[in-house]
Amino acid sequence: MSEDDKPRPFKTPDNSMGIRFRYPYTRPDNSMAEAIYFPRGIQPQPRDAKLTRYTRNYAKMDFTELANKMGHANNGIILAFDPGHTTGYAVFESMQLADHGQIDTDDMEKATKNIGELITLWDHADAVVVENYRVYKWRAKHHAGSELLTARIIGCIETLCYQRGQFNLIKQPAHIAKGFCTDPKLREWGFFTKGEKHANDAIRHGAYFLIFGPINRKEQTGVTVG
């Protein structure tokens, strides 16, 4: 498959994540486009019959097959975090979910201790993936008076990683992982854990990274305040 033919991630109108194909297809309303909405949303009617088989094959793939096809499969160790008052974590080793759970990070003392223990345990990880935190304009009022614990937890993770020589730290916006790695997808892949919301969110971030690789720098940029 050439680089131009390779599927590419993109954001669908409902803010979920899809995979962009360069091939044209006809939408149900007969308008033309170059993308399909995968894994959910509009089911296109491709102009080329081969595209129907092509996209169907992607839909049938398990997690490892999809990551391999996208070209970002990683046989190393990935440690992923979903930071907050309760922080979820997930560890992928050779594309398999090796460990996951939730830790108490309700204050910085607990956060430093519990996250530090995890990073020390997995100090041989090839990359650490963490959900990023943004204060968006339309939610600014909701943050008035907030201690912004989640942002501080992210800073704690960064500091602990750098202290331990782990410099391959990747931040991902919450919406891209949650939009693509939905609960049904986690269940299909055998990753979903009932009753552990934050662990599942960490799994989403690790899985998204393993499928799509590091996100482009545009997604990571933002405005620094304070």
Q: Is residue 156 part of a domain?
A: yes
Same-domain pairing of 87 and 29 = no
Q: Is residue 197 part of a domain?
A: yes
Q: Does residue 28 have a pLDDT over 90?
A: no
Q: Provide the 10 A C-beta neighbour count for residue 23.
A: 17
Same-domain pairing of 88 and 55 = no
Band (pLDDT 50/70/90 cuts) for residue 162 is very high
Band (pLDDT 50/70/90 cuts) for residue 58 is low
Same-domain pairing of 145 and 119 = yes
Percent of the chain with pLDDT over 70: 63
Same-domain pairing of 86 and 181 = yes
CB 56 within 8 A of CB 44: no
Per the structure, the complete domain to which residue 24 belongs is given by 8-60
State the pLDDT at residue 108.
94
State the pLDDT at residue 137.
64
Same-domain pairing of 30 and 130 = no
Q: What does the block give as tokens for 210?
A: 């393993």
Same-domain pairing of 36 and 113 = no
Q: Is residue 3 part of a domain?
A: no
Band (pLDDT 50/70/90 cuts) for residue 47 is very low
CB 38 within 8 A of CB 16: no
Please give the tally of structural domains in the chain: 2
Same-domain pairing of 92 and 201 = yes
Cβ partners under 8 Å of residue 202, min gap 6: 80, 81, 82, 87, 88, 89, 90, 100, 131
Same-domain pairing of 93 and 178 = yes
Q: What is the CA angle 83-161-145, rounded to 5? A: 40
CATH code at position 163: 3.30.420.10
For the segment 61-71, the average pLDDT, to the nearest whole number, is 84
| Mean predicted lDDT score pLDDT of the chain | 75
Q: Does residue 35 have a pLDDT over 80?
A: no
Q: Does residue 90 have a pLDDT over 90?
A: yes
pLDDT tens-place string over residues 182-216: 999 999 999 999 999 999 999 999 999 998 888 75
For residues 13 and 149, the model is more confident at: 149
State the pLDDT at residue 24.
42
Q: Is residue 183 part of a domain?
A: yes
Q: Is residue 145 part of a domain?
A: yes
Q: What does the block give as tokens for 123?
A: 């100090």
73 by Cβ neighbours in 10 Å (0-12 / 13-18 / 19+) ranks as: middle
User: Whole-prediction pTM value?
Assistant: 0.71
**What DSSP designation does 226 have?**
-
State the pLDDT at residue 178.
87
State the pLDDT at residue 107.
92
Q: Is residue 70 part of a domain?
A: no
